Amino acid sequence: MARFRPPVLLSVLVSVIAVSLTGSLQAAPMTSDVQAIISLGPPVNALPATAAAGPFPGNDKPTDLLNRLNNLNLFGTGITTWTLIGSSDEVSNGPFDSNPSTTSGQILLDNPINGPFVIAVKGGNSYAAYYFDNSFSNVLGFLFTTAGLDPVGSGNPPNLSHMSLYMPICLKAEAREMVAVAEVVA
C-alpha cells in the first residue's frame, strides 16, 4: 500500500500553481552569463562574474541599478559610491566597441579595465547585473548571453538592448579618461 506524503504533495502543488500563474519558471542569471575576457587568444580566455543578480524589471539606467548598488548594497560589497561609466547604446558605444543586438556574443572594451566593476545586461523588459571583484585585471571585454533575462515572445531570450559599465567613483576618473582617449583616437 502506498503511503501518502503530504509535504511532497504540497510542494508539487505549490510548483504547479506558481507555473500556472507565471506561465513559466524563470531561472535567475548565472555568473557564467557574462564572462570577463582576459585574453583574446586564440582561444579566447574568459572568467565568469563573481556574482549575478536579477532579473529586475525595467531599465538599469539612469537610476535603478545605482539605487540597488549604493543604497541596497546589492552584492554586499559595502561600496556606496558606484557610478555609471557608460553604456553600449550611447553615441560611439560609450566604453564599449559595439552594441550587438543578439542573444549572445562578444563585446569588447575600448580600453582594458580592472575590478571591481558591475556589468548590466539589458534586453526586453528586464536587466541583470554581474559583479566582478578586484581580482579581475586587464579585462578586455565580455562574452555574454541574455538567457538570465525575462523571456520575450514565445519564451525566447531577448536581444541585447545595451550593456552598461558601473564602477566605484574612485575609479570613475580613470575610466572616463580611458573613454575620452578612445573617442579622440577614433
Q: Which amino acid, one-letter code, is at 34?
A: V
Of 169, 149, 167, nearest to 159 by C-alpha is 149
Burial of 119 (0-12, 13-18, 19+ CB in 10 A): buried
Query: Could you read off the pLDDT tens digit of each residue along the chain, which spans 186 residues?
Result: 544 444 433 333 333 333 333 344 556 788 888 999 998 878 889 999 999 999 999 999 999 999 999 999 999 999 999 999 999 999 888 899 998 999 999 999 999 999 999 999 999 999 999 999 999 999 999 999 999 999 998 889 999 999 999 999 975 555 556 555 555 555
Model pLDDT, residue 183 = 55
Domain residue ranges of the chain, discontinuous segments joined by +: 26-185
Model pLDDT, residue 180 = 52
Model pLDDT, residue 17 = 32
C-alpha neighbours within 13 Å on the C-beta side of residue 170: 5
Which one-letter DSSP state was computed for residue 115?
S
Model pLDDT, residue 28 = 79
- List C-alpha distances in Å: 115 to 33, 35, 95: 18, 13, 15
Model pLDDT, residue 44 = 85
Of 99, 113, 112, 110, nearest to 186 by C-alpha is 110
Model pLDDT, residue 179 = 54
Q: What is the pTM of this model?
A: 0.78
Q: Which amino acid, one-letter code, is at 91?
A: V
Model pLDDT, residue 79 = 94
Model pLDDT, residue 138 = 94
Q: Rounded to an integer, what distance in angstroms lies between the CA atom of residue 13 and that of residue 139?
A: 46
Of 80, 99, 95, nearest to 175 by C-alpha is 95
Model pLDDT, residue 23 = 41
